[in-house]
């Protein structure tokens, strides 16, 4: 029996992309927690798998040539899993290009911009003493996230999913639409709202989104732990 795929993971939008994909594809996996608030992403063992020191990453013990293969970067992982499973990633060039462009749109646009929105709206106020210093960042990234929501809303006006049939592109984008954290109102984006509900009702999405949720709650429950996590995540640790 083939060993399960190792999922090096913490419950964040980028982590959820891969846990959702593994659940959707029915691929056996074992979760390996990487507590980014405790700095575990800086450990030598993890960085041997993910040189950028960011999760998620996977190790497939049954790679294409029968040997273990490690992969970092969520977009690359999604493409690999889609090919491996033969699911949610078209084989024909036209369909593949359709999925790829929305996948790259997410990893190059929605993820980074929404991530900056999270930083300036949720984390920076606890780090920066003079709040005037973060006002521009809040406005800049909140507005850009609003624009990106609009891109999705227009795209979804005449279709159920971003790239034709439900695909890894939807799995990549769905976890990053967090309107309450991003200062957005989904009522402005009815097509996006319907898509969020449509994707969010899928059993595999529910299961993947819930993976490791108790770990995140335990960190949030401790004020000292949360403060230490902020210092670890945002470059305030000794080097």
CATH number at 128 reads: 1.20.1050.10
The whole-angstrom separation of Cα 125 and Cα 189 is: 28
Pairing mode of beta strands 57-60, 29-33: unpaired
The per-residue pLDDT for range 99-155, each reduced to its tens digit, is 999 999 999 999 999 999 989 998 888 887 777 878 999 999 999 999 999 999 999
pTM: 0.91
206 domain-assigned:
no
Residue 212 lies in a domain: no
The CB-side HSE value for 233 (13 A sphere, CA atoms) comes to 18
pLDDT value, residue 232: 52
Q: Is 78 found in the same domain as 128?
A: no
105 and 72 co-located in one domain: no
* Residue 234: per-residue pLDDT: 57
**Domains held by the chain: number:** 2
Q: Is 209 part of a structural domain of the chain?
A: no
φ, ψ of residue 91 in degrees (nearest 5) = -95, -25
Residues 33 and 79 in one domain: yes
Range of the structural domain that residue 58 is part of:
5-87+222-233
Q: Per mean pLDDT, which range of 115-129, 156-170, 183-197 is the poorest?
A: 115-129
Residues 68 and 135 in one domain: no
In this structure, the answer to whether residues 174 and 229 fall within a common structural domain is no
Both 26 and 108 in a single domain?
no
């Amino acid at each position: 029996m083939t060993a399960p795929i190792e999922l090096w993971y913490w419950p964040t939008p980028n982590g959820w992309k891969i846990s959702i994909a593994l659940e959707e594809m029915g691929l056996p996996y074992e979760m390996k927690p990487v507590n980014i608030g405790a700095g575990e992403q800086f450990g030598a063992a993890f960085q041997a798998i993910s040189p950028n020191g960011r999760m998620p990453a996977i190790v497939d013990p049954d790679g294409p040539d029968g040997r273990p293969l490690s992969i970092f970067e969520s977009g690359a992982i999604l493409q690999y899993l889609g090919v491996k499973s033969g699911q949610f990633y078209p084989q024909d060039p036209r369909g593949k290009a359709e999925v790829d462009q929305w996948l790259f749109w997410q990893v190059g646009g929605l993820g980074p911009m929404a991530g900056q929105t999270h930083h300036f709206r949720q984390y920076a106020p606890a780090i920066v003493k003079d709040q005037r210093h973060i006002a521009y960042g809040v406005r800049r990234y909140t507005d850009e996230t609003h624009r990106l929501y609009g891109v999705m809303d227009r795209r979804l006006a005449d279709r159920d999913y971003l790239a034709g049939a439900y695909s890894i592109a939807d799995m990549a984008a769905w976890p990053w639409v967090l309107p309450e954290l991003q200062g957005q109102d989904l009522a402005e984006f009815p097509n996006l709202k319907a898509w969020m509900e449509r994707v969010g009702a899928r059993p595999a999405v529910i299961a993947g989104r819930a993976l490791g949720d108790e770990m995140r709650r335990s960190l949030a429950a401790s004020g000292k732990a949360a403060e230490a996590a902020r210092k670890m995540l945002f470059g305030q640790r000794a080097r």
